[in-house]
Structure 1
Amino acid sequence: MAIKEYPFYLKTTVILFGLILLVYMLSTLGDILVPLAFALLMSILLNPLCNWLQKHKIPKALSIILSLLSTLILVGAIMYFLSSQTMAFSDSLPALKEKFGQIITDLESWVYTRFGIETQKQVAFIKNTMNGSKALVGRTLNTVLGTLSIVFLIPVYTFMLLFYKQLILSFLYEVFSEENSARVAEILKETKSAVQSYIVGLLVEMVIVAILNSIALLVLGVKYAILLGVIGAILNMLPYIGGIIAIALPVLMATVTKDGYSTQLGVVIAYLVIQFIDNNIVFPRVVSFKVQINALISIVIVLLGNALWGISGMFLSVPFVAVLKIIFDRIDDLKPWGKLLGDNVPTRHIGQIWTRRRGRTADTVIEGQGTK
């Protein structure tokens, strides 16, 4: 029986409608899927610790609880450190506000002298900008508060995923045909290894970058160096975009608290050096991420993740695409998409190879005709 071939435009339309429906469902069900995605990453990360505890004759449920408690204690210690630093920062807010107001006044005078723009127009422009910023801050706060509200679901989801791990794995094996079981096992093994190495390496990288940032800011004499260094390291976990924001914060602090611009220049140079060390030494050796995503896809997917799920989507986008690449690389029809996501750039594209092969074939035919 012949299989009916549908025209290209019809296939494309169906695929586009499917993608639109998928994005709509992901956006609508974000409150459920975001904590579930974080819990899935957390369960993959804690799985070796749970297995180690179970090997030492500790019951399964208790092993999971102990693993979760150790994680919560670590996160609580980090949050306590950041909150104590933030309290010290809030004590200096009045003085910083006064200094910032003086800088704004001097800037208005400079703009009026240089460009002839009246102060009233500058104030009106700043007010309009601030109104837009308030809306942006409001959306950001809603995202943060929404994230905090679902954080309490993550430990519950993580416990359930670890407790029912064998049931989920059995389902994944049984849902596919028996001849594909080896490929399914390979995909699951690669996914687990990639996610574990990525998250552990990312945490180690964050600690190293936080230390380097704090030392650089302390040497330059920037106030609240440790707080800004840690925040910069956390933002650095966002590919490419976080590094830019991380530089802007200490530069702004140096502008408000110090005279001149030498400190700001020193901050920019120091952070650029740290970024170079991180990208070329720390990240390749510490993260050792087995599935590399090229820079273009990383930037686009982070922006799409932000548009879909906000800050949470930015963090989840890279490991999500890495898992997709692992799957694409093991399905013949999807291998081109896996190559598109990867960072292996060929020296020649396939069209050039085909063209050269056809040219050689034509030359051979002509030579063969000439010899007759």
Structure 2
Amino acid sequence: MLKKYPFYLKSTVVLFGLILLTYALFHLADTLIPLAFSVMLAILLNPLTNFLVKKGHFPHVVSISVAVLVAMLILIGIGLLLVMEVRGFSDQLPIFQKKLAEMGSKAQAFMQQHLGMDRNQQQQYLHEGKTALKPLLAATASSALGGFAGFVLLPIYTFLFLFYKALLLNFLYEVFAEENESSVRKILTETKSAIQQYMFGLLLEAIIVATLNSVALLILGVKYAVLLGVMGALLNVIPFIGGILAVLIPVVIATLTQSGIHTQVAICIAYAIIQFTDNHFLIPYVVSSKVKINALVSIIIVFLGGSLWGVSGMFLSIPFTGVLKIIFDRVPDLKPWGKLLGTEVPTQHKGQFRQISRRIGKSLSGKKN
């Protein structure tokens, strides 16, 4: 017979465990971030590896090597394309700085004339803003350096995860009791399939959104269209905030490089159409109609990921929350957590339902009497 512990004791143990987990995740970020990206990449490459083994009759090691090499070549190709765009952008920095100075001078004159804010006060606010941004810029630079170091380890970790896949799965089987082996096998099989479909859907969605963004910006004549389009697709992973930044950045570039506001308005319209297409067609049909995270959880988890692992945490938070929801939905004891993460909102809560049931029961018993 299982001993039942009081709620305050169980909640204290759970809270203490979460604090220890958060502490470990924060202090081991440099090690765990490359591992997290490697797990995602290994999940995406697993179908290709299986195809090369079964259809191509390649040895297991060769199949994994080919799959990892293909992925690395694609990532390097995208990186080189973006570097070329960034190089062209950096060449125009003096012009942008001059244009920004002109716009800043006009903004200062407007604020002094219409808001009664003198230039000394404005300079003070700007200085305070720059001081507040310094830690954020330092954290971003550190994250970028860590990301470069992690990129070197990414193919190694990915290769090892694919090579030791059977060992890792056997470990999960052996952790549980033998009488639960069939249930564990079913859950792992369903979860693996759902995670692969979900991750592949996310990748395909990002490629489509990046293409649509780039094509729209090229048609509108915005400079650095490919760079801005890919940035918009990456920012699209971050709910709400990412969508605003994805529109704001090309609008700012268009303002610096072109005159008038026609292009800026056209960018907002084009991105609104792309966002509508993404939300109503790509996410439901390409990503997965079964894996949806509600807005409240999305915002909270993105900010928590940013606080924990910086920019990398913001990008990793949504995919890993989606993976957790897939697991929660398939484990009976964890289904309430899966519902909490999902988008289905019940019309009434359990308490209301029970009250209505009691009233109906009382009315029926009164009629019988």
Q: Same fold (TM over 0.5)?
A: yes
Name the SS of the counterpart of 1:310 in structure 2. helix
CA–CA distance in 1 between the matches of 2:97 and 2:344? 49
How much does 1:237 deviate?
2.6
Identify if the C-alpha distance between structure 1 residues 179 and 327 changes in structure 2 by more than 3 Å, giving closer, same or farther: farther
Identify if the C-alpha distance between structure 1 residues 132 and 156 changes in structure 2 by more than 3 Å, giving closer, same or farther: same
Equivalent AA in structure 1 for residue 281 of structure 2: I
CA RMSD of aligned residues (A): 1.8
Name 2:355's counterpart in structure 1: 355
Name 1:203's counterpart in structure 2: 203
CA displacement 1:96-132 (0-9 Å, x = unmatched): 1111110001111111111221112211211221122
Query: For structure 1, which runs of at least 5 residues remain unmatched after alignment?
Result: none
Name 1:14's counterpart in structure 2: 13
TM-score computed with the length of structure 2 as normaliser: 0.94
Name 1:146's counterpart in structure 2: 146
Equivalent AA in structure 2 for residue 321 of structure 1: T
- Give the alignment of 1:1-372 within 5 angstroms: 4-55=3-54, 56-288=56-288, 290-369=290-369
- Asked if the contact 1:53/1:63 (under 8 Å) is kept, the reply is yes
CA–CA distance in 2 between the matches of 1:327 and 1:222? 43
Identify if the C-alpha distance between structure 1 residues 69 and 322 changes in structure 2 by more than 3 Å, giving closer, same or farther: same
Identify if the C-alpha distance between structure 1 residues 230 and 324 changes in structure 2 by more than 3 Å, giving closer, same or farther: closer
CA–CA distance in 2 between the matches of 1:353 and 1:102? 63
Q: Percent identical across equivalent pairs?
A: 50
- Asked if the contact 1:195/1:319 (under 8 Å) is kept, the reply is no
Equivalent AA in structure 2 for residue 14 of structure 1: V
Identify if the C-alpha distance between structure 1 residues 30 and 289 changes in structure 2 by more than 3 Å, giving closer, same or farther: farther
Identify if the C-alpha distance between structure 1 residues 300 and 271 changes in structure 2 by more than 3 Å, giving closer, same or farther: same
How much does 1:7 deviate?
3.0
- Asked if the contact 2:41/2:158 (under 8 Å) is kept, the reply is yes
Count of residue pairs brought into register by the alignment:
368
Name the SS of the counterpart of 1:340 in structure 2. helix
- Asked if the contact 1:213/1:274 (under 8 Å) is kept, the reply is yes
How much does 1:5 deviate?
3.9
TM-score computed with the length of structure 1 as normaliser: 0.93
CA–CA distance in 1 between the matches of 2:292 and 2:211? 26
How much does 1:289 deviate?
5.2
CA–CA distance in 2 between the matches of 1:6 and 1:211? 55
- Asked if the contact 2:43/2:199 (under 8 Å) is kept, the reply is no
- Asked if the contact 2:191/2:330 (under 8 Å) is kept, the reply is no
- Asked if the contact 1:303/1:314 (under 8 Å) is kept, the reply is yes
CA–CA distance in 2 between the matches of 1:224 and 1:84? 10
How much does 1:224 deviate?
2.1
How much does 1:357 deviate?
1.0
How much does 1:51 deviate?
1.5
Q: Which is worse superposed, 196-205 or 245-254?
A: 196-205
CA displacement 1:24-62 (0-9 Å, x = unmatched): 111122222222222112111111111122223322111
Equivalent AA in structure 2 for residue 189 of structure 1: T
CA–CA distance in 2 between the matches of 1:317 and 1:339? 18
Name the SS of the counterpart of 1:238 in structure 2. coil
- Asked if the contact 1:214/1:228 (under 8 Å) is kept, the reply is yes
Query: For structure 2, which runs of at least 5 residues remain unmatched after alignment?
Result: none
Equivalent AA in structure 1 for residue 48 of structure 2: L
Runs of 4+ aligned residues of structure 1 deviating over 4 Å after TM superposition are: none
Equivalent AA in structure 2 for residue 80 of structure 1: L
Equivalent AA in structure 1 for residue 169 of structure 2: L
How much does 1:360 deviate?
1.3
CA–CA distance in 1 between the matches of 2:244 and 2:172? 41
Q: Which is worse superposed, 73-82 or 113-122?
A: 113-122
Identify if the C-alpha distance between structure 1 residues 234 and 38 changes in structure 2 by more than 3 Å, giving closer, same or farther: same
Name the SS of the counterpart of 1:152 in structure 2. helix
Identify if the C-alpha distance between structure 1 residues 334 and 57 changes in structure 2 by more than 3 Å, giving closer, same or farther: closer
- Asked if the contact 1:183/1:330 (under 8 Å) is kept, the reply is no
How much does 1:136 deviate?
1.1
How much does 1:4 deviate?
4.9
CA–CA distance in 1 between the matches of 2:279 and 2:166? 38
How much does 1:67 deviate?
0.9
Identify if the C-alpha distance between structure 1 residues 326 and 218 changes in structure 2 by more than 3 Å, giving closer, same or farther: closer
CA–CA distance in 2 between the matches of 1:215 and 1:4? 63
- Asked if the contact 2:49/2:64 (under 8 Å) is kept, the reply is yes
CA–CA distance in 2 between the matches of 1:295 and 1:276? 16
CA–CA distance in 2 between the matches of 1:172 and 1:15? 22
Q: Which is worse superposed, 74-83 or 210-219?
A: 210-219
CA–CA distance in 2 between the matches of 1:115 and 1:10? 57
CA–CA distance in 1 between the matches of 2:320 and 2:30? 17
- Asked if the contact 1:41/1:195 (under 8 Å) is kept, the reply is no
CA displacement 1:157-178 (0-9 Å, x = unmatched): 1111111111111111111112
CA displacement 1:180-222 (0-9 Å, x = unmatched): 2222222222322222222222222222222222232233332
CA–CA distance in 1 between the matches of 2:311 and 2:167? 32
